Structure 1
């Protein structure tokens, strides 16, 4: 898998630092993985496949095409498509920060968000 990770990175024209930034690890960690000194964690494997639209089976076993054939279409993707470009950039920045947080911090943000949604619903109901 380490050689395929390097192949993917080079195919995308990315530095080790750029790839590391996408999945939240250092360029040193990427280098160690590419050299076979460290293993790619399941979490980082999933992030690479999700964020770069990589075929997980190819990255793990070398089977199939490098990239996913079809981009998944879901409600989140549709919502992002409706957001204007400036807001989309801010949303992207927010999500990048959110995914770098530990689970406890993510939970705090989730709780706050859902509390705000409930508050908004109660205001709407009173109107």
Structure 2
């Protein structure tokens, strides 16, 4: 599994620090995993699969494709709304609710604003 982990990180074009930060472990922990000095924890496996859309069977056994299919828009929306409901982020909850209440022409204006905002990054 350590070799597949290293292969995955390189496929994602991430260094050890970048990869480790995304799954919230230390770089030295990741290095231990990749070098086979430390067994990869089940929690790290779950985090790797969740964050990078990795096929868990591939990571554990080498069977199948490296990546699993990304969620459909509906699946991703359900996942994000579920996460939002579990937070105390009242601003985002209210923003979402107010957007849904907008008439279609106002939604179009808001969408244009968001797209222009994203382009300005």
Normalised to the residue count of structure 1, the TM-score between the two structures is 0.59
**Equivalent-residue separation in structure 2 for 1:43 and 1:60 (angstroms):** 13
Q: Are 1:72 and 2:71 counterparts?
A: yes
Paired residue secondary structure (1:18)? helix
Paired residue secondary structure (1:113)? coil
Unaligned runs of 5+ in 1: 82-94, 96-109, 121-127
Which of these two proteins has the greater Rg computed from alpha carbons? 2
**Equivalent-residue separation in structure 2 for 1:75 and 1:65 (angstroms):** 23
**Equivalent-residue separation in structure 2 for 1:17 and 1:28 (angstroms):** 9
State the 1:72 CA deviation: 2.2
**Equivalent-residue separation in structure 1 for 2:65 and 2:38 (angstroms):** 24
**4+ residue runs of structure 1 moved beyond 3 angstroms?**
73-76
RMSD: 2.8
State the 1:39 CA deviation: 1.0
Match of 1:91 in 2: none
**Equivalent-residue separation in structure 2 for 1:71 and 1:54 (angstroms):** 10
**Equivalent-residue separation in structure 1 for 2:2 and 2:78 (angstroms):** 35
Q: Give the paired residue count.
A: 87
**Equivalent-residue separation in structure 2 for 1:47 and 1:75 (angstroms):** 22
State the 1:61 CA deviation: 0.3
CA deviation vs aligned residue, 1:44-98 (integer Å, no higher than 9, x gap)? 1011101100000000000001000x212376722799xxxxxxxxxxxxx9xxx
Normalised to the residue count of structure 2, the TM-score between the two structures is 0.62
**Equivalent-residue separation in structure 2 for 1:29 and 1:80 (angstroms):** 29
